A and B are shown apart, each in its own frame.
Chain A
């Protein structure tokens, strides 16, 4: 079964708006990562947040982590058409080296 679950499964917004995606996970983690996948391509790493961090920024991306609720959110500000992709959270489970992915959120930015 998947460790992480993204919400919503699909999101469609207008260019320039902000997009927020959420991820919930089940077990204790060392870190949580967000990836982007364009159609027909491999996944590309966006940002990593450690379990002792609460918020992290990278350009137009803002990630938060709430370990008490076992959840994370990814905010993309001032969205662009090029942000259209699927976004996945991935967790590294404590005590294991494997990276487990959620089902992803499919984001569509309408021009």
Chain B
């Protein structure tokens, strides 16, 4: 059964450490989204890719965050150095976008990040 897989599910790290979150999108999907969810800000779009190319990463703090898709089966979100305010749940979602239409986004279970 096709699903978006995120690893790790939980991560506790010390301030200043590098954090890498991974996502395996559903095979055949051409669009990948990264979202961050906090109680205060809700769901924020950090970045998204179409056919592995970054289309919009304006929601991402550029100085410490980076997102890549080394291949069609892997998307990564990296934070370096991490800060306590980065503590949140990070979701990856994938979808199939044809022409100007966007279909549903399939979400992974998220990575709960705690920076102490």
A65 to chain B, nearest CB (A): 16
Q: Are A99 and B105 in contact (CB under 8 A)?
A: yes
- How many residues of A sit at the interface, in one of the four size bands? 20 to 34
List residues of chain B with CB within 8 A of the CB of A30. Answer: 100-102
Q: Are B104 and A97 in contact (CB under 8 A)?
A: no
Contact of B33 among A48, A98, A103 (CB under 8 A): A98
Q: A35-B105, A99-B45 are in contact. List 14 more A-B contacts (CB 8 A).
A: A30-B102, A31-B101, A41-B110, A42-B91, A43-B43, A45-B105, A45-B106, A48-B103, A48-B104, A96-B56, A97-B48, A97-B50, A99-B105, A104-B43
List residues of chain B with CB within 8 A of the CB of A100. Answer: 45
If A97-B48, A97-B55, A97-B102 touch, does A43 touch B42 (CB 8 Å cutoff)? no
Q: Are B109 and A2 in contact (CB under 8 A)?
A: no
Among A2, A96, A97, A104, max chain B CB count under 10 A is at: A97
Q: Which residue of the partner chain B has the closest CB to A41?
A: B109
Q: Are A31 and B107 in contact (CB under 8 A)?
A: no
Across chains A and B, which 8 residue pairs bring their CB atoms closest together, nearest first?
A: A42-B107, A45-B104, A101-B43, A103-B42, A43-B107, A92-B102, A42-B109, A98-B48
Cα distance A38–B55 in the bound complex, in angstroms: 29
- Counting CB contacts under 8 A, is B31 at the interface? yes
Q: Are B42 and A99 in contact (CB under 8 A)?
A: no
List residues of chain B with CB within 8 A of the CB of A2. Answer: 42
List residues of chain A with CB within 8 A of the CB of B55. Answer: 97-98
A12 to chain B, nearest CB (A): 19
List residues of chain A with CB within 8 A of the CB of B42. Answer: 2, 101-104
Cα distance A100–B109 in the bound complex, in angstroms: 18
Q: Which residue of the partner chain A has the closest CB to B58?
A: A98
- Counting CB contacts under 8 A, is A88 at the interface? yes
